[in-house]
Amino acid sequence: CVPLVLNLFPLGRGAFSVVRRCVKKSSGQEFAAKIINTKKLSARGRRR
């Protein structure tokens, strides 16, 4: 597990996920993390 600092504000949002700005604590490197809401994904599959 890599220690990260997540920004509280999302960079983008979709129907099933949100993209947040992250910073790696050890190096200060910035990147984006896509966080997928699996509960919404599985609920959509049950409706089909």
Question: 33-36: long-range contacts (C-beta < 8 A, 24 or more apart)?
Answer: 33/4, 33/6
Q: Known binding site for ATP: residues?
A: 34
Digit-by-digit pLDDT tens for the chain (48 residues) are: 667 776 667 899 999 999 998 888 788 888 888 999 888 777 666 665
Structure confidence at residue 43 (pLDDT): 67
Structure confidence at residue 39 (pLDDT): 86
Q: Known binding site: residues?
A: 34
Q: Where are the domains of the chain?
A: 4-38
Q: How far apart are CA 19 and CA 43, in angstroms?
A: 21
Q: How far apart are CA 24 and CA 8, in angstroms?
A: 15
